Amino acid sequence: MEAPMIPDVIRALPWQGQITAEPLLGGLSNESWKVTDDAGTHVVRLGRDFPFHHVDRGREVMVARAAHAAGFGPALRHAEPGLSVVEFLNARTWGQGDLRANPDRVGDLLRRFHAEMPAHVSGAAFLFWPFHVIRDYARTLRAGDSPFLPDLPALLSLSEELESAQVPLPLIFGHHDLLPANVLDDGQRLWLIDYEYAGFGTALFDLAGAASNAGMAPDETEALLRAYFGEAPAAPLRRAFDAMHCTSLLREAMWAMVSALHLSAPGADYTAYARENLDRLAAALDLYRSQHGKQT
């Protein structure tokens, strides 16, 4: 029953012997399949370039190879325009509760990833600065006549306020999409997958993304920061992190707004996801301003 459902582009790949395949659910922008042939089990990821999200699949493939060489990601078995095939890991996909329960492990993983990846990446450098992404998303939304247009002036003003709270930090190579489902646990170690947004940037975006996407409580966030920095951050750095926590929610909301104009995935309601993140942003912003005041 399932065999006829397998996309032709997957069937045409150079498999060894007969294949069985099943879709992997849960992606918001890409289609993935678990495929088994005589050589083993693999994950086929289907996805085109998304210029509106600054996603270049050639760069993603390069980072996937680099991540495997550095010991953070599964092996890339095959790549061609529009798809990649990676090793299937016998590992459990994390949920929010896992991220919240393991801030020390996540902090250590990110510290090592940030420090070790630059030695393995190649080609032209890609910079991920969330405030630039937010500004560019606003341009895309204006050109696409988004229903969120009336919200843009306030969102851009907020972005400027949050950017002004940032402090100079070393340039690192970040993942920039720290959703719980992008962390795998094989019982011995953690793995990172999905490198669409990986590039050089600030450590605070990965740390804030991990905390916000998991809904970490204050003590869990404190443990994450101590694990990463080796000590509790000083007041200016903590304010910058708290501002970046809000920024990660703002960027995620605007990602969904842009996705609503350009993407379609089974079961994905991008408009609802945007509003969900705007609600979470409002709560995080109230807490941020109660602790640090409004930046000018």
Q: What is the pLDDT of residues 111-124, one digit of tens each?
A: 999 999 999 999 99
Sign of the dihedral through C-alpha 99, 103, 109, 112: positive
Q: What is the arithmetic mean of pLDDT over 166-172?
A: 97
Asked if the model's pLDDT at residue 2 lies above 80, the reply is no
Structural domains of the chain, ranges and CATH numbers in brackets: 3-90 (3.30.200.20)
| Portion of the chain with pLDDT greater than 90, in percent | 92
CA distance 72 to 91: 13
Q: How confident is the model at residue 215 (pLDDT cuts 50, 70, 90)?
A: very high
> Phi, psi (5° rounding) for residue 112?
-70, -40
| Residue-level pLDDT at 296 | 60
Q: Are 32 and 163 in contact (CB under 8 A)?
A: no
How much is the pTM? 0.94
